[in-house]
């Protein structure tokens, strides 16, 4: 075998070993199944709960809404005239769909310069940091998935101004997040042996 072919083969093998599992869990409607399938999620969510006080079911409900637990999730493309691609709708990326500017602020303030949006531990910690700000700035309980999501979506200033009140679609989504949070909470109680 030639050296070039051998080197190429070695590169392919090494690259495949380092690839991430970016797929969503198989059963998105069962918190216990998600944590069983993705044990590293459990570790990330537990660490965030201990560090920031955000309940696991609240983290999971928001992550479901934002990315369906897909590591490299992105917003859809915008099109001019329905056919010409004009870039993405926003810079939101990763599990938490964090925007570039907010992610940069998180990395600066937490001194976590190497944090990556497609890493569940970093994405979960980011949510803890952001929800902590929502509590401090807007008085939102860590257990209130609906209000935390509204802060998350409209930003702390937007939430304080009540911008979400004029967005019926967003209020429906926030209600869905609250319902999913309650569902996940009940499920997690039933599989407490995982914890």
CA distance 70 to 79: 24
pLDDT given at position 67: 95
* Residue 93 buriedness (CB in 10 A; 0-12 / 13-18 / 19+): buried
pLDDT given at position 81: 61
pLDDT given at position 26: 86
Q: Output the CA torsion sign for 127, 133, 134, 135.
A: positive
- Which residue do the tokens 């409900």 mark? 61
pLDDT given at position 85: 64
List average pLDDT for each run of 10 residues in the chain, which is 195 residues long. Answer: 53 46 83 95 97 98 96 65 58 87 95 95 98 98 98 96 97 98 97 67
pTM of the model: 0.83
Integer angstrom CA distances of residue 104 from 49, 59, 100: 22, 20, 6
pLDDT given at position 62: 98
Report DSSP letters for 31-54, one per residue: HHHHHHH-HHHHHHHHHHHHHH--
- CA-closest candidate to residue 60, choices 156, 162, 154, 191: 191
- The answer for residues whose C-beta is within 8 angstroms of residue 59's C-beta and 6 or more apart is 45, 48, 49, 124, 127, 128
């Amino acid at each position: 075998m030639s050296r070039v072919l051998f080197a190429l083969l070695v590169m392919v093998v090494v690259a495949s070993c380092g690839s991430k599992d970016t797929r969503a869990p198989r059963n998105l409607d069962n918190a216990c199944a998600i944590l069983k399938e993705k044990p590293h999620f459990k570790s990330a969510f537990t660490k965030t709960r201990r560090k920031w006080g955000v309940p696991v079911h609240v983290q999971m409900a928001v992550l479901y809404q934002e990315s369906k637990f897909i590591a490299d999730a992105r917003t859809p493309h915008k099109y001019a005239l329905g056919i010409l691609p004009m870039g993405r709708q926003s810079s939101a990326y990763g599990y938490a769909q964090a925007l570039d500017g907010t992610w940069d602020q998180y990395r600066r303030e937490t001194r976590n310069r190497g944090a990556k949006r497609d890493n569940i531990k970093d994405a979960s910690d980011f949510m803890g940091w952001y929800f902590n700000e929502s509590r401090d700035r807007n008085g939102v309980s860590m257990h209130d998935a609906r209000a935390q999501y509204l802060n998350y979506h409209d930003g702390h200033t937007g939430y304080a101004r009540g911008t979400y009140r004029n967005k019926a679609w967003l209020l429906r989504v926030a209600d869905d997040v609250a319902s999913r949070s309650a569902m996940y909470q009940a499920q997690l109680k039933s599989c407490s042996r995982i914890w």
